[in-house]
Structure 1
Amino acid sequence: MNPESINTTNNSTNVTCSRDARITHTVFPILYTVIFLIGIILNFLSAWIFFQVPSKSVFIVYLKNTVVADIIMTLTLPFKILTDSGIGPWQLKVFVCRFSAVIFYETMYINIILLGLIGLDRFLKTVRPFSRSWMDNVNQAKKISAVVWIFIFLTSLPNMILSNQKATPQSIIHCTSLKTTLGKKWHEAVTYICMIIFWFVFISMILFYATISKKIYYSYIKSKSKDKASRKKTRFKVFIVVAVFFLCFAPFHVMRLPYTFSQVGIIKNCQLQNKLHLAKETTLWIAATNLLMDPLIYVILCKPFRKLIPKFNSSTNSSLIPP
């Protein structure tokens, strides 16, 4: 496949930069297809199980919202796969730029905030196990979840509205070509907002889990527990959320700021732009693997979820047995 040409978003001059799209048009569609096929099974299975779990705790409320975000994010992947592989028509690329990609990022940051809230809930349960706060309330958790969805949606909505420039097969190669001048500025501003959200949640989770680790350590010292296997298992369970958060989302956010600089014309070197684009696509795929990691959190940390897995297996097996 021939290298594609894109116009950098330099406000002062129109600079054309050649980009070799062979990797993004072949390797990444295959990798995203793997995530989609596995993710659609795992997340719809998780939704089926959670549908039977009553929302009796703050933790379960946040997990249910995470499942919804994961399903929506999963359903955006086929559009990305078709456009990145070049199979879909150029009009589909317009849809991806204006709507599908925006929804993909919306659900990613909803997921990030929800994982942070789950970390906060685990922190409160460990540090103050016998006291209740205003956040330890199911109705309050539902309101907080609704605020998260509304805030992220309203922040992202202008990215859809302000991508209303006329699209042609030649201009649609790069999504920023569809944005108005205000749209490009809003896109840059939203990127900074998202970066702040991520790093705030990231630092908060480090503090939460450092405190949790310290609390667990002192409880072992106090009880003089010598059960090493149990100790390792407990530590693994405690840190599964922050491990998933770090492995999936940290690489992308390290790369996102310099990539945004290349989009808006601050970084003008063509070779560096290409490297940043490839790094961004790689780390974005890593971020998408969160769709496969979240079900691991459900199984390890949510006891009601685990209890219903045998029920699902038995119902599935009985449906396969002819009457």
Structure 2
Amino acid sequence: MAGNSSSFKLDNATRALFLNVNTSIAISVIYMIVTAINLTGNGLSLWLLVFRTSPKTPSIIFMINLTLTDLALGAALPFQIAYQLQGYHWNLGPNMCRVMTLVFYTNMYCSILTMMAIGIDRYLGIVRPMQFRQTRVRKSIAVFSCLLMWGVVLSVLWPLMTTDLTFDVPELGITTCFDVLKKDMLPTLSAWAAFLFSMVFVLFLFPFCVTTFCYVSVIHKLSRDSKTAQKRRAILLAFIVLLVFTVCFAPNNILLLAHTVLRLFYNESLYMAYKLSLCFSCLNSCLDPFIYYFASKDFRQKLRQIINLSISMDSMKMDRKESFYSAHNAVEGPVGEQRRLSLMPSTA
């Protein structure tokens, strides 16, 4: 965090990050891999969820919402890759910087809230099946919940939408994008505290606790009166969701809180660690299709149909090739033999 760029000098940790070419390349490579997996996996998932899965249950609606946020992240990552490879120099202007930053954080927090919503829906459907039995009402609640999630996230992230997030660093000759924040982005320390509290506790810690409770309750219920396959899928789903929370979301939010407190009150920095955690937070978009697979029976069936169709088409192609070569050899065999006999010298 800084005042105006003319009198500002980088702290050692941030300068080390900007000058560390290996870290920049490593982060860029991770972003490239995430982009490829994100666009492929979530593109297929969106097609299955929208055009091949019916009826549109609340879980499917939540999954569509999650897929759209993941695809938005996949579309924004190439800009971040270019920014990294150019030595943290942003040349697309303040508005595009705001858009890219907003996409990063809306993906994270909308994903967290959507996973919580999917967990609540499974909890009500398995642990409390007598509640919310009317599908039509549940669909309207699901749509309203998605809109509410976006509203809550955008309201918390409002300072990012109204601030110029670019910053000139004269000593390095670069213009950063959301790597150096202005202290006057928020007017007081109380406003900064409210901003951080909303991001870390409201948008992360509370949903994490609710999601954990829902999946533990579902596993406990299924362990008593469920088939082994259904119980195994529920355990795998809970494992993937909690893995996403602990690996992708928890480090970033914890480091965000620690770095900001250290920077505001002690003039210390954890920025390199925070930057790496932000990179790993994007991995959630690669793991989300696995959540769809274990959470939705319809999604599993449609995906298996596509895989089986692809395998059958490949086998048909192989059979055609084999039949073609066998027929070709059957025709060519006697003719070739006759030609060889006719070319043999006479022994009379």
- In which range does the TM-score fall when normalised by the shorter chain? 0.7 to 0.9
For residues 170-212 of structure 1, the C-alpha deviation after alignment (integer angstroms, 9 at most, x for no partner) is 4733636574714475666433211122000111122222322
Deviation of the 1:20 alpha carbon: 1.6
In 2: Cα distance, 1:212 partner to 1:166 partner: 48
What residue number does 1:175 align with?
Answer: 178
Deviation of the 1:299 alpha carbon: 1.4
In 1: Cα distance, 2:252 partner to 2:181 partner: 24
Identify the range of structure 1 (303-312 vs 182-191) with the bigger mean alpha-carbon deviation. 182-191
Partners of 2:156 and 2:199 within 8 A in 1: no
Alignment map for 1:230-269 (pairs within 5 Å): 231-263=231-263, 265-269=264-268
Deviation of the 1:31 alpha carbon: 1.0
Deviation of the 1:17 alpha carbon: 1.5
Larger radius of gyration: 2
For residues 54-73 of structure 1, the C-alpha deviation after alignment (integer angstroms, 9 at most, x for no partner) is 35311111111001111111
Partners of 1:115 and 1:245 within 8 A in 2: no
**What RMSD, in angstroms, separates the aligned Cα atoms of the two structures?**
3.4
What residue number does 1:212 align with?
Answer: 218
Q: CA 1:82–1:166 in 2, change beyond 3 Å: closer, same or farther?
A: closer
For residues 225-281 of structure 1, the C-alpha deviation after alignment (integer angstroms, 9 at most, x for no partner) is 8x6x77545432444333333332122222110122245x32313xxx1xx112112
In 2: Cα distance, 1:176 partner to 1:58 partner: 38
What residue number does 2:115 align with?
Answer: 115
What residue number does 1:5 align with?
Answer: none
In 2: Cα distance, 1:166 partner to 1:232 partner: 50
Q: CA 1:37–1:95 in 2, change beyond 3 Å: closer, same or farther?
A: farther
What residue number does 1:192 align with?
Answer: 197
Give ranges in structure 2 of 5+ residues lacking alignment: 318-348
Identify the range of structure 1 (280-289 vs 157-166) with the bigger mean alpha-carbon deviation. 157-166
Alignment map for 1:264-303 (pairs within 5 Å): 265-269=264-268, 273=269, 276-303=270-297
Q: CA 1:316–1:157 in 2, change beyond 3 Å: closer, same or farther?
A: farther
Matched, 1:43 2:39: no
* SS of match in other structure, 1:172: strand
Q: CA 1:232–1:134 in 2, change beyond 3 Å: closer, same or farther?
A: closer
Deviation of the 1:289 alpha carbon: 0.4
Identify the range of structure 1 (161-170 vs 70-79) with the bigger mean alpha-carbon deviation. 161-170
Alignment map for 1:83-232 (pairs within 5 Å): 83-86=83-86, 90-92=90-92, 94=94, 97-132=97-132, 137-163=138-164, 170=173, 172-173=175-176, 175=178, 179=182, 181-183=184-186, 189-196=194-201, 197-219=203-225, 231-232=231-232
Q: Count residues with an aligned counterpart.
A: 301
What residue number does 1:25 align with?
Answer: 24
For residues 294-319 of structure 1, the C-alpha deviation after alignment (integer angstroms, 9 at most, x for no partner) is 00111122111122224545489979
What residue number does 1:82 align with?
Answer: 82
In 1: Cα distance, 2:230 partner to 2:167 partner: 61
For residues 45-91 of structure 1, the C-alpha deviation after alignment (integer angstroms, 9 at most, x for no partner) is 11111121235311111111001111111111111111112168632
In 1: Cα distance, 2:165 partner to 2:40 partner: 35
Deviation of the 1:152 alpha carbon: 1.9
Partners of 1:83 and 1:93 within 8 A in 2: no
Q: CA 1:316–1:172 in 2, change beyond 3 Å: closer, same or farther?
A: farther
* SS of match in other structure, 2:11: strand
What residue number does 1:69 align with?
Answer: 69
In 2: Cα distance, 1:176 partner to 1:133 partner: 48
* SS of match in other structure, 2:157: helix
Q: CA 1:163–1:285 in 2, change beyond 3 Å: closer, same or farther?
A: same
Identify the range of structure 1 (302-311 vs 283-292) with the bigger mean alpha-carbon deviation. 302-311
Q: CA 1:242–1:178 in 2, change beyond 3 Å: closer, same or farther?
A: closer
Partners of 1:57 and 1:138 within 8 A in 2: yes
